Amino acid sequence: MKKLFVLSLAVGLSAIFSTGALAATKYVTIGTGGVTGVYYPTGGAISKMVNKKRDEYGIRATVESTGGSVFNVNAIMSGDLEFGVVQSDRQYQAYNGTADWDGKPQKDLRAVFSIHPESVTIVAADESGIKEVADFKGKIINIGNPGSGQRGNAMDLLEAAGLDPEKDFQAEGLKAAESAGMLQDGRIDAFFYTVGHPNGSVKEAVAGTRKVRFVEIKDETVKKLTDKFSYYAPASIPVSMYPGVANEEDAKTFGVKATFVTRADVPDDVVYAIVKEVFDNFDEFKKLHPAYQILTKESMLQGLSAPIHPGAMKYYKEAGLL
Per-residue confidence (pLDDT) for residue 8, from 0 to 100: 47
The verdict on 161 and 242 lying in the same domain is: yes
**Within a domain: residue 213?**
yes
Looking at the fold, whether 112 and 123 belong to one and the same domain comes out as no
Residue 10 placed within a domain: no
What pLDDT does residue 6 have? Answer: 45
| Residues 158 and 201 grouped into a single domain | yes
Same domain as 240, residue 124: yes
249 and 272 housed in the same domain: no
Is 247 found in the same domain as 126?
yes
In whole angstroms, how far apart are CA 5 and each of 1, 18, 21, 126, 245? 6, 20, 24, 80, 75
Give which of 155, 202, 146, 207 is closest to 174, Cα–Cα: 146
List all residues 6 or more positions away from 147 whose beta carbon is below 8 Å from its beta carbon.
Answer: 67, 68, 69, 70, 71, 100
The pLDDT, as a whole number, for residue 294 is: 81
Assign 3-class secondary structure to the chain: CHHHHHHHHHHHHHHHHHHHHHHHCEEEEEECCCCCCCHHHHHHHHHHHHHHCHHHHCEEEEEECCCCHHHHHHHHHHCCCCEEEEEHHHHHHHHHCCHHHCCCCCCCEEEEEEEEEEEEEEEEEHHHCCCEHHHHCCCEEECCCCCCHHHHHHHHHHHHHCCCCCCCCEEECCCHHHHHHHHHCCCCCEEEEEECCCCHHHHHHHCCCCCEEECECCHHHHHHHHHHCCCCEEEEECHHHCCCCCCCCCEEEEEEEEEEEEECCCCHHHHHHHHHHHHHCHHHHHCCCHHHCCCCCCHHHCCCCCCECHHHHHHHHHCCCC
Specify whether 166 is located in the same domain as 223.
yes
175 lies in a domain? yes
Does 97 share its domain with 49? yes
Helix axes 149-161, 69-78, angle to 10 degrees: 130
Co-location of 246 and 263 in the same domain: no
**Can you give the pLDDT of all 322 residues of the chain as single tens digits?**
444 444 444 445 454 444 444 458 999 999 998 887 788 988 998 999 999 999 999 999 999 999 899 999 999 999 999 999 999 999 999 999 998 999 999 999 999 999 988 899 999 999 999 999 999 999 999 999 998 889 999 999 999 999 999 999 999 999 988 999 999 999 999 999 999 898 989 999 999 999 999 999 999 999 999 999 888 988 989 999 999 999 999 999 999 988 999 999 999 999 999 999 999 999 999 988 888 888 899 989 988 989 999 999 999 999 999 9
186 lies in some domain: yes
Residue 13 lies in a domain: no
Shared domain for 186 and 76, answered yes or no, is no
Neighbouring C-alpha atoms within 13 Å toward the C-beta of 271: 25
Other beta carbons less than 10 A from residue 229's beta carbon: 17
243 cis-preceded (ω within 30 degrees of 0): no
CA within 13 Å, CB half, 238: 11
* Residue 48: domain span: 26-117+257-318
Does some domain include residue 314? yes
- The residue among 226, 256, 286 that closes a domain is 256
Task: With respect to residue 261, please indicate whether it lies within any of the assigned structural domains.
Answer: yes
CATH number for the domain spanning 75: value is: 3.40.190.10
Q: What is the model's pLDDT at position 9?
A: 43
> Same domain, yes or no, for 111 and 123?
no
For residue 303, the model assigns a pLDDT of 83
Looking at the 3D structure of the chain, how many domains does it have? 2
Q: Which of 210, 225, 256 is the last residue of a domain?
A: 256
Residue 20 lies in a domain: no
